[in-house]
Amino acid sequence: MDETVAEYIRRTVLKIPRDEIKMMLQKWGFLSEAQLQTLNFHQLKDNISQEVVQLCEENSADIKQAAVLDIIYNHIYQNKRMWSVYHMRKTGEELEYFDLTDFRKKFKRRLQSALKNVTVTFQEYEDNAIWIRVAWGTPHRQPNQYKPSYVVYHPQTPYVFVSASVLKSNLPLLCQALIVASNYHDIREMELRGHSLNSLKDIVFNRYSHNFQTYCPKPQQASTVEPESADLRIINENRGEKERIQRLNQEGFGDGPQPILQFAQYKLETMFKSRPEMDVLDKKEPFRCLVKFSSPHLLESLKSLVPAGMADAPLSPLLTCIPQKARNYFRIRDKKGLPPESFVSP
Amino acid sequence: QGSEDPQRTALLLRKAWTLYSVTPLYRFGRGRLRDYARLLGAFIAAERQKGLAVEVGVELDIKVALSSLPELRGSEQDQPAVLVQLSSRSRASPKNSEDKILWSGCFCCVCGDDLSENMPEDFTCLPLFLANGAECYMSVVGNWFQQTFDCVFRRLAISPFNLSWMVAMWTGCKVDKAASAVELVFSVPCLPQPLDISYAIHPEDAKALWDIIQKTPGEITQEEVDVFMDCLYSHFHRHFKIRLSATKLVKVSTAIASAHCDGIVKMLHSQYLSGVLMLLTELAISQIQ
């Protein structure tokens, strides 16, 4: 077995948390159940990985098999990576039958003809997702297995999710290979990025709950305003206002669970307008700002600003449009010829 | 007047310094810096034997150096700054190896007349302390100074009120080349899901706004700072309907310096170094008094 392969397997196993190693090796299926029985999972991880490498040596593992183990790890820990979303377009409306073998062949061939040295690995999953791992080399250098790119493609959709490695120069080639293999003619990056792959899918596949007012499975009562006190003499004098605010807030984001995003970024190129009582800046040039919101669960966080009293209800459409527009990067300019309160996002 | 030694003061630039206020030191002898270095070195070695002040990966002897930085002061009344450096030296060091600096601390006083004015002779006023490096060293160095000179170190936090002053003041400073953005960072921790908001303004636009608000050059009033912040808040509110004034301002950043509410500062521009230190000295003195 090649030394570089051995080292790669060793390092991949080291990344795995100790109590998940057995499960992942089983999923991998490269080592037999009998071989797995010989492993002692209660020793130092360093030693576990050495033993795994020895077993792989017995089975003469090559880089192709090692790459599969890497995909399995990244599939389980997909949220550790940052994913970008790409959208592909076709000229005609023909619904072509998707041939996986054909796709794989064309994809691999496109990359190999350009770079000669690439490691391309495919793995299919139950939710119709095809995972592709690409380790990049050059005509003169072996692929760097430690900085691969991952692509997730659902064949019946025009969307591709990419977690590129640091080697961004390979992105154009990757995009080309994707459209060639999938018979699309165009691909562009969307302004949508995040760690939660499933949430990104929810957004582009429209799988989250929208703010539909007509369909409402829950009864129309305000559910989170505090219950009346036991003493009837005590009333919540703002109850009406609180209910109104909650209703408006729900209209913004909808009732159900929100897709998980980690940030939203707005490049503001709008005019600075002073308040009437302040005789300040009324310039002709835009007031250039960059605003970035971050949170472990951004949309839920923004939604909670209104009841917390930190934002007006309804929340700004610049924020509530994030899932509908399937983007979290925006460039905001004033709409020409319209009152300054309206913004346009190109 | 000490000659401007850009090398020496440059070591304060572009490092993240944790701020402390220090009460006046009793019977601190400026001529005894070498002795103090030796005593502190022995103290550190003893503490390390006990298992304290141990940083993972550092096995070697620790060397202590104390020096004066006379160029770091505001006026003749100020005490010159004192620099403390801990470096690691290999027991069998090859001739061409350099000592690695593990930790630095700097006592300083820039325009600290408010404190030093009526101070009895036995006391040395160096109310501001800057620390850079592992916390375990700060702990042991702080203990030694507190025991030896009967002083008290306290972490210096920076309130949103003071952060607003800093961002307004530093936005107005003139910088020749393309400066970095004026950034304000807000935190809303008490939500079910915490939220951070970064609001960065193009430095030219921020400065243009400040220049219109500031009436007298060289002078800044509370009202001007309030108007400046209000303008930024209302521009933000116009777009996002969020009231930034209800959130917590935790960090401000400009081309001159950046400051975090936990009392961590980075100074970026040599020309304005003493201006920033003067402001921080003032904060330290308020905490002491």
Of B199, B202, B247, the CB nearest to A310: B247
Q: Is A264 on the interface with B (CB under 8 A)?
A: no
Q: Give yes or no for B122 touching A (CB within 8 A).
A: no
Query: Smallest Cβ distance to B235: which of A266, A287, A305?
Result: A287
Q: Can you name the residues that pair with B198 across neighbouring β-strands? A: A292, B185
Flag whether residue A294 sits within 8 Å of chain B, measured between CB atoms: yes
The answer to whether the CB atoms of A289 and B200 lie below 8 A apart is yes
Q: Where do the H-state alpha helices sit in chain B?
A: 6-10, 33-49, 113-116, 135-149, 160-171, 203-213, 222-240, 273-288
* pLDDT, tens digit (0-9, with 9 covering 90-100), for A203-254: 999 877 665 444 444 444 444 444 555 566 666 667 777 777 777 766 677 7
For chain B, the structural domain boundaries read 9-155, 160-261
Mutate to test the interface with A, among B188, B191, B230 (most CBs of A within 10 A): B191
- State which H helix or E strand residue A130 sits in: strand A130-138
Q: Does any CB of chain A come closer than 8 Å to the CB of residue B211?
A: no
Closest CB to B213 among A272, A280, A305: A280
Residues of B in contact with A316 (CB under 8 A): 239-242
Cross-chain Cβ contact A311/B192 below 8 Å: no
Q: B190 to chain A: nearest residue by CA? A: A308
Question: Model pTM?
Answer: 0.85
Beta-carbon separation of A289 and B201 below 8 A: yes
Residues 6 or more apart whose Cβ sits within 8 Å of residue A282: A272, A273, A274
Query: pLDDT tens for residues A23-81?
Result: 999 999 999 999 999 999 999 999 999 999 999 999 999 999 999 999 999 999 999 99
Query: Which residue, chain included where needed, has tokens 């305003």?
Result: A225
Residues of A in contact with B235 (CB under 8 A): 272-273, 287, 289
- Asked if the C-beta of B212 comes within 8 angstroms of chain A's C-beta atoms, the answer is yes
User: Which of chain B's residues have a Cβ under 8 Å away from the Cβ of A275?
Assistant: 234
Candidate from B181, B212, B242 with C-beta closest to A305? B242
Contacts of A335 in chain B (CB under 8 A): none
Question: Per DSSP, which regions of A202-273 are E strands?
Answer: 263-271
Q: Which of A98, A85, A81 is nearest to A15 (CA)?
A: A81
Q: Which residues of B touch A294 (CB under 8 A)?
A: 195-198
Band (pLDDT 50/70/90 cuts) for residue A109 is very high
Cβ of B195 within 8 Å of Cβ of A270? The answer is no
Beta carbons of A296 and B188 less than 8 Å apart: no
Determine the distance in angstroms separating the CA of A51 from the nearest CA of chain B, rounded to an integer. 28
All residues of chain B having their beta carbon less than 8 Å from the beta carbon of residue A315 are 240-241
Taking only the tens of pLDDT, chain B with its 289 residues reads: 334 456 677 889 999 999 999 999 999 998 999 999 999 999 998 888 887 767 766 667 889 999 998 888 888 888 899 999 999 876 555 555 667 889 999 999 998 888 888 888 899 999 999 999 999 999 999 999 999 999 999 999 999 999 999 999 999 998 877 679 999 999 998 888 999 999 999 999 999 999 989 989 888 999 999 999 999 999 999 999 999 999 999 999 999 999 999 999 999 998 899 899 999 999 999 999 8
According to DSSP, the residues that pair with B68 across neighbouring strands are B82
The total number of residues written for chain B in this structure = 289
Q: Which of A263, A282, A293 to mutate to test the interface with B (most CBs of B within 10 A)?
A: A293
How far apart (Å, rounded) are the C-alpha atoms in residues B176 and B112? 30
